[in-house]
Amino acid sequence: MAGAASLASCFTFDDISQASARTDESDKTPVLKLIKESHAKGYDFICIPLTTPKWRERWRNMCIVPSTSIDDTQETATIEQQAEAWRKAPSFFLDEVTISRLDEAAPILVMASDWLQLDSTDDWVRHDSEIALRQEIAYASYLNVQTVILPPPRHRSHVASYARAINECLKSATYINFSIRLPIYDPAVFQPKEKESPSSHTSTSSRSTTTSPPSTPQIVMPRASTPRSLKAARAPEGELNATWEMWDVIRTICDYNTRLTLTLDLTPPLPSNAGILNRWMAEPVQHIFLPASTFIANVKGYPVLPKGTQSFVRNSMTHHPIIIMSGVNSGLHTKGGESAYAQYVRHVEKTSTAVQAAMTAGTVEHFAQGYQDYLQNPLQVYIVTSFPPTVVLTSVQPLMDNLQSITYQTFEQDPVKYRNYEEAVYHALMDWPDSDRIVICVAGAGRGPLVQRSLTAIKRSRRNAFVYAVEKNPNAFVTLQGRKQKEWGDSVQLLFGDMRHVELPELADILISELLGSFGDNELSPECLDGAMRFLKSDGISIPASYTAHLAPLSSSKLYNNARISTDLKGVETPYVVMFQNINILSGDGGGVSGRCGSKIQTCWEFEHPRKDATVDERGLPLTNSHNVRSAKLSFHIPHAGVMHGLAGYFESILYGDIGLSIHPHRKDQVSKDMLSWFPLFFPFKEPLYLPSNSELHVSIWRLTNERQVWYEWYAESFLPVFNAPSPPEHSEDASGDGSFFASASTHVAVPSPVIDAVDAFPSLERSETRRSGEESPRSTAGVIKIGQTSLHNPGGRSSWIGL
């Protein structure tokens, strides 16, 4: 991810006018001059307004009738005729636009007029603003402009009108990318509420008397909003949600169009409440608007970003944003000059954890570059041949089909998995009585890495042991024969066939397998090992000893869009393997408002080996697969409003003793840091489910089976806790823990904000992150009201299943 961000320099109309004086023959135009100068200063793009003040003036004259001229009916009629002529055939005069040549348009981001009010409370202002916007878009399209940044919505009550107008633009200009400029929150929420003056109700309609033109956008940030001036400010969560909620309405009305992105305006100081900020990670943030006024001076007078903004920009590097810097030549800070701002942003970029991880060999982030947020069918993951990916989209069923040698080679690049397996085998051997001859069976040997690791563990332990290797892939079996001949000799006996059918010459003491998927059981490890348990002694050891599946609700507009690329149901009813990047886990820790929710990531179920619960026939094989059916009902607390697009699935496994494998976000680094073999699983939802702040989400998931297949079905319902309302239908049995094998390495203690923190919507309730199971909730009388649900996904395994 080196060079994660690009930089753009933002210019006003005044900057363009001033550039005119410096423009000579070779520069051709002031905009080309600015482009040249900016490139020389290390900027990749420039960002300019598309229109000039002349256009604003003409539009106002035509569309806003000043109250002073109300009596002059003749003049009013003339203006109205001009306006109607314009509405019929909207077009610019040369001095109303900043660019007019193709070579000016190529390397620039243009801003549509920021005074347009597509969501004005006045019908006519809205109407004429939309015509004006379409005129601007048509002109931008004529000049082949690639990106248009749109002015922010201002009125929550009319944001649907704004969104409808943008949707029209998306349909009319099919090559332009639109980006909505939006502050993370409206800083007005921190300003003392003034009594509205009568004049503030004055209409701005062209058809009614008017005293003022459309006002300055309400949520374009005031320069005076320095972090210091807001030090003690606190605002209700709902108000901090307002701009995100407007975005949610807009992108929903625009049907999650992939050409619609966000330009996050970081002018106001950011709240340090990570939950509120994390939601932007799941959104398509294309640009970050960073004016010089956002910077504060460090002790030496150089511009630096306030802490909250700094860490937000650092985390946002995963979006590969274009950072639009404005006002950097205004001399706002005493030291460093213009270049200091860009240098500082480059410094922040270098210290981003994501950028650093991507540049460090051996990390998952480095290994998976180019693979982030890319949906792989788990049945296709086997034929990923290299990183970055070259995926051949042919379905491979883990049990029914055979893997290619190159796929095994990809697995074998993982240094951590095999190391942990060797340690597990070594400790199992050391715990075994010394005198015995120990029999090991590797079930599903592939090309032999676990056989090799077993032999190394035997050597290290100085035990007397023998290895059987079972493999059903006839092609991999050739490789195994070669290794036996050249490397292993008589210490290994190979057995070709399905572990559910082959016979072992003697019973094994230790059965080693690696048949795990991203959700633990999703590659049919339980079913295969059922077949292999026949050849394990009654007191024998299975490595792995157990594995668990874990879930959390997730928001990601990108994953949602990727899942519905294929128009059939299959696309949204298939669990995918994904290296998550721009996602947000919506759940919080603690019991929630009712005190009855579980933790942020919760355990669904567990499989243990050897297992004693299956009824077996005379050969030791289960009569049915019923014992491998599972279901889970999980209750999640949703602290901050968001939209759920799917579920994130993880697994953990105990190999032996305290040695394991984990992709659980809170424990993977503790258990198997830098393990490369598994990315998480993504269970998509067909329709996004909106979850308000402090709501509860109940997720149901089933692992189901018939004689030939195993599949998952999933479903969710949302509830709003209400006092004196009916009790929830069912509660999570254990609201305190998540049933993990491994102690969590993470801390859940929120760091208080130095600047602004959202006030909890239920201020008197302490978040019970430390509450123990059984302790009475302070709001145990809270009930819930149902507010939404999804459909049942993949009923009967109609879209996705794994063959037995």
Residue ranges that bind ligand SAM, judged by CB under 6 A: 399, 403, 411-412, 444-446, 449-450, 470-473, 476, 498-500, 514-515, 528
| Smallest separation, CB 483 to ligand SAM (Å) | 12
| Smallest separation, CB 520 to ligand SAM (Å) | 13
| Smallest separation, CB 465 to ligand SAM (Å) | 18
Pick between residue 260 and residue 515 the one whose CB is nearest to ligand SAM. Answer: 515
Whether residue 525 contacts residue 542, with contact meaning beta carbons closer than 8 Å, is answered with no
Find where tokens 């057995």 sit. 495
- State yes or no: 499 annotated in a binding site: yes
Q: Which helix (H) or strand (E) holds 32?
A: helix 30-40
Output the DSSP codes for 723-743. ETSPPPS---S-SS----SS-
Is 423 part of the annotated catalytic residue set? no
| Smallest separation, CB 381 to ligand SAM (Å) | 10
- State yes or no: 471 annotated in a binding site: yes
| Smallest separation, CB 531 to ligand SAM (Å) | 6
Whether residue 543 contacts residue 510, with contact meaning beta carbons closer than 8 Å, is answered with yes
Pick between residue 227 and residue 446 the one whose CB is nearest to ligand SAM. Answer: 446
- State yes or no: 84 annotated in a binding site: no
Q: Which helix (H) or strand (E) holds 646?
A: strand 642-656
| Smallest separation, CB 448 to ligand SAM (Å) | 8
Pick between residue 447 and residue 664 the one whose CB is nearest to ligand SAM. Answer: 447
The Cα–Cα gap between 418 and 454 comes to 10
Two tokens, residue 190: 């921190």
Is 523 part of the annotated catalytic residue set? yes
Q: Buried b vs exposed e over 325-355: b needs ≥16 C-beta within 10 Å?
A: bbbbeeeebeebebebbbebbeebbeebebb
The Cα–Cα gap between 298 and 336 comes to 11
Q: Which helix (H) or strand (E) holds 108?
A: strand 108-111
| Smallest separation, CB 530 to ligand SAM (Å) | 10
Pick between residue 265 and residue 514 the one whose CB is nearest to ligand SAM. Answer: 514
Pick between residue 51 and residue 407 the one whose CB is nearest to ligand SAM. Answer: 407
Find where tokens 């920009």 sit. 313
| Catalytic entry in 523, 652, 696, 713 | 523
CA 550, chain centre distance (Å) = 18
Q: Give the residues across from 551 on adjacent strands.
A: 602, 649
Pick between residue 145 and residue 450 the one whose CB is nearest to ligand SAM. Answer: 450
Whether residue 11 contacts residue 52, with contact meaning beta carbons closer than 8 Å, is answered with no
Pick between residue 421 and residue 741 the one whose CB is nearest to ligand SAM. Answer: 421
| Catalytic entry in 96, 514, 573, 696 | 514
Q: Which residue is nearest to ligand SAM (CB)?
A: 444
Virtual torsion, Cα 659, 663, 667, 672, nearest 10 deg: 40
- State yes or no: 408 annotated in a binding site: yes
The Cα–Cα gap between 175 and 171 comes to 10
Cα→Cα distances 565→513, 568, 619, Å = 36, 9, 47
Helix axes 159-172, 237-253, angle to 10 degrees: 30
Binding-site residues for S-adenosyl-L-methionine, please? 408, 417-418, 471, 498-499
Binding-site residues, please? 408, 417-418, 471, 498-499
User: Active-site residue numbers?
Assistant: 514, 523
